[in-house]
Structure 1
Amino acid sequence: MTTLEFQQVDVFSTTPFKGNPVAVVLAADSLTTEQMAAFASWTNLSETTFLLRPTSPEADYRVRIFTPQTELPFAGHPTLGSCHAWLTSGGRPRNETIVQECDIGLVPIRSEGERLAFVAPELRRSGPIDEALLSRVAHGLKISPSSIQASAWTDNGPGWLSVLLGSREEVLALEPDYASLAGLSIGVIGPWNPATDGTEAQFEVRAFVMSAGVNEDPVTGSLNAGLAQWLIGEGRAPQHYIASQGARLDRSGRVYIDLEEDKIWIGGATITRITGTLQV
């Protein structure tokens, strides 16, 4: 029997149990892919990660990311949660910027006081969405195609395609037909109205990840990264903003977006809620 250090980290919220949890297994090099997949299925969290020795000389550590059904090349809240667990377990970066290795490549991460932030990775797919697919998305979201203000592929690994609605209210009102959206990863975003919604955030986001066996993800770093690249790139969002996510799931996620020079940083709070050991 193998005993490994384990943490469960709450990401993207400073309020206990209101962010997105990720299970992190440290020094997991002894585990097989099958053991990793079995544990991720057992935790039944949106993602479970395994920290490993890096294979790149530039990386501080390597991570593998699993949903209950599949392995992902990259995901946002697992990136921040894994980095937090690595740091709190004694990890020391080679330089001021931490470098995570994952299947999508090397991801820079930095400390921002009480938050960690990662650089949005290059999109694997961008550009317009096929009209037939967009019609399927509108049907599955139970909205009129005319209520979609803009749309684009925002895929940085999980397969995201995204749509912009006219308001936070429209985003929160969605009651998708998940079965009709099987196999898709859909991001939906809409602006806050300062007069009625306040100024704590500027956009509301929801993430429907049927492709990974998760109907709705509470707070999603990879999606927010892709959304920021799309919306800032098209001038539809400012260079610095806060996205709110998770309200329909009784969460209070906050994702901090900052464009600096040619990099978009995606930041949020990271707090360990559970520590212990895993026996395999």
Structure 2
Amino acid sequence: MPILPFFTTDVFTTTRFGGNPLAVVMGGDTLDTATMQAVAAEFNLSETTFVLPPADPAHTARVRIFNRTAEMAFAGHPMVGTAFILASEDPDLREAVFEIGAGLVRVRIARDGAGAAVGAAITTPQPLTVGETLPPELIAGVLRLDPGDVVTKTHPPTVASNGNAYVIAELTPDALAGCAPDIDAFRAALAAHPQHGNRFSVHVYCRDAMTLRARMFAPLAGTWEDPATGSANAPLACLLLSLDAAREAAAFTVHQGVEMGRPSLLQVEARREAGGIVATLHGACVPVMAGTIRV
């Protein structure tokens, strides 16, 4: 029975027990997918990663990402947190390249004046793609809001992705604070939109200039609410930039997790490149636990 080391870290925060917790399992290349999924369910966090040898030796690692119920092609806080854990173990690590299901994630390690790892910046593995738009009534239904609470002046509720698709909708500030997910409405929404696979994840926000407040709900994937969602805030920033033809780049500060008592802070930079609009996510991390797991 393999015994693997693991670490947990709180991501997108400088305060322990804030931000979004992540479990990082070192190794596990002999494990099958079902066992990895069982380990992720055991940790019962938004995501758990497994750090494996890369397919290309020029890269740092292959990283598999699991939420409570399924493997994910890309997720933001697991990339930032995994980079932080590796950099905490290797004082010489300054840059990294992770192989994930959605492509390659390029990483820059953030260190303090003493050289200790304090966080990381990651670039999205794919440029922005924009999918279907959805009626405000659908968003209002899954979050127990009134249709008028959904703001459509800038854009209607829109599916957007940088490697992991979310339904993105703007709300009034009061509505953002009052969201209350309706699991039956989420199930009905997924049944009506089966192209979303086994999840119907809704990322909602309100905006004050370049500062955003956000919440993300994915109850069908086992995450009733997420404290910090890099893979949702990245396409949010990219979507907003795509709608502002006068800008080549835009930097946003995102506050998430406040209503959960796990305040998180994300810095997101979106920019236009030859291949499309991409984003870089910056986040701080705090170490929490270390141990071993028998699998």
TM category (shorter chain) comes to 0.7 to 0.9
Equivalent residue, structure 2, for 1:186: 202
Equivalent residue, structure 1, for 2:233: 224
Deviation, 1:15, is: 1.2
Equivalent residue, structure 1, for 2:223: 214
Could you tell me which amino acid in structure 2 is paired with residue 135 of structure 1? E
Equivalent residue, structure 1, for 2:12: 12
Q: Secondary structure at the match of 1:273?
A: strand
Aligned with residue 205 of structure 1, among 200, 206, 214: 214
Q: Secondary structure at the match of 1:23?
A: strand
Deviation, 1:2, is: 1.4
2:172 & 2:240 partners in 1: Cα distance?
Answer: 14
Alpha carbons 1:10, 1:20 under 8 Å: kept:
yes
Deviation, 1:122, is: 2.2
Structure 1: 5+ residue runs without aligned partners?
A: 194-200
Q: Secondary structure at the match of 2:133?
A: coil
Matches within 5 A, 1:106-125: 106-113=104-111, 114-122=118-126, 125=129
Deviation, 1:74, is: 0.7
Equivalent residue, structure 2, for 1:270: 285
Aligned with residue 130 of structure 2, among 116, 126, 138: 126
1:28 & 1:272 partners in 2: Cα distance?
Answer: 21
Equivalent residue, structure 2, for 1:197: none
Deviation, 1:246, is: 0.3
Structure 2: 5+ residue runs without aligned partners?
A: 112-117, 188-198
Equivalent residue, structure 2, for 1:235: 244
2:149 & 2:181 partners in 1: Cα distance?
Answer: 15
Aligned with residue 103 of structure 2, among 102, 105, 122: 105
Q: Secondary structure at the match of 1:88?
A: helix
Equivalent residue, structure 1, for 2:149: 147
In the alignment, structure 1 residue 162 sits paired with structure 2 residue 177: no
Equivalent residue, structure 2, for 1:196: none
1:58 & 1:161 partners in 2: Cα distance?
Answer: 35
1:260 & 1:229 partners in 2: Cα distance?
Answer: 7
Deviation, 1:103, is: 0.3
1:144 & 1:56 partners in 2: Cα distance?
Answer: 50
Deviation, 1:216, is: 0.7
Alpha carbons 2:254, 2:265 under 8 Å: kept:
yes
Equivalent residue, structure 2, for 1:51: 51
Deviation, 1:135, is: 2.9
Any idea what the Cα deviations from partners look like across 1:150-185, whole Å, max 9, x if unmatched? 321123344311101233x33112122132113410
Equivalent residue, structure 1, for 2:68: 68
Q: Secondary structure at the match of 2:41?
A: helix
Change (3 A) 1:157 1:178: farther
Any idea what the Cα deviations from partners look like across 1:51-71, whole Å, max 9, x if unmatched? 000113442111101111111
Q: What root-mean-square deviation, in Å, do the aligned CA atoms of Structure 1 and Structure 2 show?
A: 2.3
1:188 & 1:30 partners in 2: Cα distance?
Answer: 39
Tell me the TM-score normalised to structure 2 length: 0.83
What is the percent sequence identity of the aligned residues? 32
Alpha carbons 1:153, 1:160 under 8 Å: kept:
yes
Alpha carbons 2:134, 2:158 under 8 Å: kept:
no
Deviation, 1:231, is: 1.1
Any idea what the Cα deviations from partners look like across 1:225-253, whole Å, max 9, x if unmatched? 11111112213998122100001110110
1:69 & 1:60 partners in 2: Cα distance?
Answer: 27
2:129 & 2:272 partners in 1: Cα distance?
Answer: 22
Could you tell me which amino acid in structure 1 is paired with residue 265 of structure 2? R
Could you tell me which amino acid in structure 1 is paired with residue 227 of structure 2? P
Q: Work out the number of aligned pairs and report it.
A: 268
Q: Secondary structure at the match of 1:239?
A: strand
Could you tell me which amino acid in structure 1 is paired with residue 142 of structure 2? G
Change (3 A) 1:123 1:138: farther
Alpha carbons 1:13, 1:254 under 8 Å: kept:
yes
Equivalent residue, structure 1, for 2:294: 279
2:110 & 2:147 partners in 1: Cα distance?
Answer: 40
Aligned with residue 258 of structure 1, among 250, 256, 269: 269
